[in-house]
Structure 1
Amino acid sequence: MFDFNNQIYSPFIAGPLSKRVGRKWVLLSSSVIQIVGIVLIMVASKVWMLIMGRGIQGFASGFVLAAAPIYVGEISSDSVRGTTGSFLNLFIQIGILYVYIIGPYVSYQMLQWCCLAIPIVFAVCFIFMPESPYYLVGKNRQEDAQQSLQFLRGQSAEGVQNEITLIQAAVDEAQANKGSFRDLFGSNGNRKALLITCGLIVFQQTCGINVVLFNAQTIFAHTGTDLDPAIATIIVGLVQVSSSALASFTAYYFGRKLLLLISAGIMTLCLTSLGIFFYMKMYTGDISLILWLPIAALVLDSFAYCIGFGALPMAIVGEIFAPNVKSSAVSIVTSMLFISSFASIYLYPILVGCGIYYVFWGFGLICAMAFVFVKLMVFETRGLSLLDIQDILHAKKN
């Protein structure tokens, strides 16, 4: 619970900090905080030290998820922003698989050492990365912004001049307003952006994937198959990594909205099928002909999640808000992510008590609702500049 509480409020610290000191330094500070949390867990001799360590890690994760979408959205060119935005989910899945593979075969202490290596490597590598050119322009550091963009695009000063001009125009338009929480809710365009992103994030966290990931071994044990649950869990992790990598490229060709619709549709079918399997297991007894179904459905569900709802909501978060309200908006969206994730995991044992098939039918219904939400509310942003997206939200373009 301490971990969860820190995840809820840390984005509201990270958001204003990213606006004041820069996106890069918030991300770097998150690695330092993460290292402190892991070290505290490693040396813990009391329960409260373990709880404190987990809480610090939760605080750090809130920093990452609040600042990373902003940074990635602002450093990416219009043509590849969907691809780079989906990398966040790809590396989350790689991290989960990393623990899936190592966790069952090493001691608890050794696992912490393995986890400690990640933020250290990140800090050493990321220190050499440039600050967001949008942030630098907003601080009237045009020369630094130009150098940042030259590094990011691999071009000369003349080659990035047009993009610098567009960034300046976007920042000037955004700075005409203060960018407070009041501005976020006072504009129809900003409210629409907040509704779209909060909706996508809530559906992302309540579509059942957290239950699948955190209870994969238990679910496979319920099926009665001969496959080692630990191996089955690794299979799911491999599918998530490969499909997340695929999503990074399909977003470029197919766009965000179509992939979200495909993702929600397939997850609805998979989770409904899993509910039917467990219902038959409980009430018909003979399920020998469909013992393959749980693994197939969970693998396909994981694939569908990663190509759409796993990869794209945070990418959209990073591109849909105006610069003046982006930090405040992402703080709210990130907190919604942790709240809905906690609610999803908290409800799991309650639904299991009613019958595990209700778990999958319930999450399947949520996925069906997500399909309708995307169809009605989400607009395509592939290939659009950040300024174009604001024009659409504020009805300046059709």
Structure 2
Amino acid sequence: MEKDYRQVPTSEIHPFSIEDGNGNVHVSVMHVGTSTNRKFLYITAIIVNLVSFVCGTSLGWTSPEIPLLKNLTNSPLDHVMSASEEGWVGSFLPLAAAIGPLGAAILADQLGRKKSLLISALPFIAAFVINSFATNVWMFYLSRFLCGLSIGLVFTVLPMYIGEISDDEVRGSLGSFMQLFIVIGLLFSYALGPYLPVTTFNIILVVPPVVFLLLFSIFIPETPYYLIKSGRDDDALRALLQLRGNEQSLAQKELEVIKVQVEVDQSNKATFVDIFKSKSTKTALFISLNLVAWQQFSGINIVLFYTQSIFTDAGVPLAPEICTILTGVLQIIASALTPLLVERLGKRILLMQSGIGMGVSQGALALFFYLKDDRGSDVSSIGWLPILCLAVFIVTYCLGFGPLAWAVMGELFPGNVKSTASSATASFCWVLGFFITNYFGLVSEAVGKSGSFGLFAGCCFLSFGFVYKYLPETAGRSFAEIQELLGGQRKM
């Protein structure tokens, strides 16, 4: 019978290692007992995720601002924004977000996780300042590009930071904080954007990244893993004492284990090509790339960027602005439930349920637009359907593919390839996001909104099949156990 290390006293737990089929050694870090006082750990997760909130305000920015920019009465522009300009305003963010991770890996390894996240706040600040004074569409292009660079950094480094400060028991729930704070930021944009002038709204958006810079730089430590890697063992111990509730024996044991892992990782330094030399890392990359691909092919960026426009096109009985705000509230409720559910049900079950829920809702939305646009039918009696469809889509996305695709990525890779693999995954995700966002209008013209949402529905159902066949459960498992699953040495 396999030993459950989570039930073993701390004194019995020691660093241990596994070797994959290619001779690479990986060390388990967290089977050293768990803290009974996680107050500072949760405070740290909340403060670091303030930058996720800023990401959310950026992702939701286009939903209220595009309609204002297309109305000369409210727009700072001297012309009505064209469909092409609207497409580029939406797609410059994912384009830059695909570039951001390329530098994120270097920054995370050379400057550290903390400094990299601090740097990520600077383009946000510059972007919102530019928006506050923008008078031509090129300035909005630049601001959206800057936001994308920051998002690319955050989506690469933040999962690494959370993974390196957490213990096994709460790693999954803390990893899902990112999605929760993103949707709170989305609601912030949805709720304020439609009712404030463009300039005023963007001045307000400067405040959150400034607050993050101050709180994170002053009160929150670098990850113990990076501090040990940099030869700062005393600082690492101080950080562990903070994160583990000042439990001296636990922090000291964990320090020794991390030292072993850092030594192994540095002796096995790897490039991107080396990922393909080990079955476990090759499988990890395959899973990570597919999870973010299915996330993008669900149509999430179209929904987030153009929520208000979708409700307007659907002709729903409620004001589109109100529907959008209600959607944002649902996102927060669902994302708040995810940390509670992920440790009980596991990531695999939640991801499968997410794929089915998103597929059903997108399919129903496709049917609505087929009846309304393609058949010319009177849909006034089912005007509530788009609201229900987007509500179900948002809830099931936030319970699964929204937070868990990134949380899983942070758990799969050993330290010697984690930054490289994470940046490659994030870049791939946003390259797909760019093409989907930029060309959604052309595809929609060719096959109609019904065809577009029908394609998204099909992809959502396929995502269920992928998770069922290929994804092992990672919740509550140590890094060593996960590597054994990926390497085929342990059954799912």
- TM-score of the aligned structures, taking structure 2 as reference length: 0.77
SS at match of 2:327: helix
The answer as to whether partners of 1:270 and 1:301 remain within 8 angstroms in 2 is yes
Alpha-carbon separation, structure 2, partners of 1:41 and 1:352:
29
Q: 1:181 to 1:240 in 2, by over 3 A?
A: same
Q: 1:168 to 1:396 in 2, by over 3 A?
A: farther
Q: State the shift of 1:3 in Å.
A: 4.4
1:218 paired residue number? 309
Among residues 249, 263, 278, which one is paired with 1:158 in the alignment? 249
2:226 paired residue number? 135
Q: State the shift of 1:168 in Å.
A: 2.8
Alpha-carbon separation, structure 2, partners of 1:4 and 1:212:
14
SS at match of 2:249: coil
Q: 1:223 to 1:331 in 2, by over 3 A?
A: same
2:424 paired residue number? 332
- List runs of 5+ in structure 2 lacking aligned partners: 1-87
AA aligned to 1:91 is F
Q: What pairs up with 1:276-355 in 2 under 5 angstroms?
A: 276-281=367-372, 282-283=374-375, 285-353=377-445, 354-355=447-448
Alpha-carbon separation, structure 2, partners of 1:187 and 1:161:
32
1:361 paired residue number? 454
Q: 1:26 to 1:293 in 2, by over 3 A?
A: same
SS at match of 1:7: helix
SS at match of 1:79: helix
Is 1:34 aligned to 2:127, yes or no? Answer: no
The answer as to whether partners of 1:177 and 1:183 remain within 8 angstroms in 2 is no
Among residues 124, 131, 136, which one is paired with 2:214 in the alignment? 124
AA aligned to 1:313 is A
1:13 paired residue number? 103
Q: Deviations over 1:265-291 (max 9, x none)?
A: 111111111112222224261434432
SS at match of 1:382: coil
- List runs of 5+ in structure 1 lacking aligned partners: none
The answer as to whether partners of 1:274 and 1:297 remain within 8 angstroms in 2 is yes
- TM-score of the aligned structures, taking structure 1 as reference length: 0.95
Q: State the shift of 1:244 in Å.
A: 0.8
Is 1:381 aligned to 2:471, yes or no? Answer: no
AA aligned to 2:285 is L
Larger Rg: 2
Is 1:188 aligned to 2:279, yes or no? Answer: yes
Mean alpha-carbon deviation: is it higher for 352-361 or for 112-121? 352-361
Q: State the shift of 1:43 in Å.
A: 3.5
Q: Deviations over 1:318-375 (max 9, x none)?
A: 1111101011011101111211111222332123212211111100000011011101
Q: Deviations over 1:205-254 (max 9, x none)?
A: 12012212222222222333321011011111111111111112211211
Q: State the shift of 1:137 in Å.
A: 2.2
AA aligned to 1:394 is G
AA aligned to 1:320 is L
Q: Deviations over 1:59-100 (max 9, x none)?
A: 222111111110011111111111111111111111111011
Alpha-carbon separation, structure 1, partners of 2:386 and 2:289:
31
Alpha-carbon separation, structure 2, partners of 1:287 and 1:42:
40
Q: State the shift of 1:312 in Å.
A: 0.5
Aligned identity (percent) is 37
Mean alpha-carbon deviation: is it higher for 386-395 or for 60-69? 386-395
Alpha-carbon separation, structure 1, partners of 2:369 and 2:143:
38
Alpha-carbon separation, structure 2, partners of 1:184 and 1:100:
41
Alpha-carbon separation, structure 1, partners of 2:342 and 2:304:
24
Alpha-carbon separation, structure 2, partners of 1:181 and 1:170:
20
The answer as to whether partners of 1:35 and 1:119 remain within 8 angstroms in 2 is yes
SS at match of 1:239: helix
Length, aligned pairs only: 398
CA RMSD in angstroms comes to 1.8
Among residues 463, 471, 474, which one is paired with 1:370 in the alignment? 463
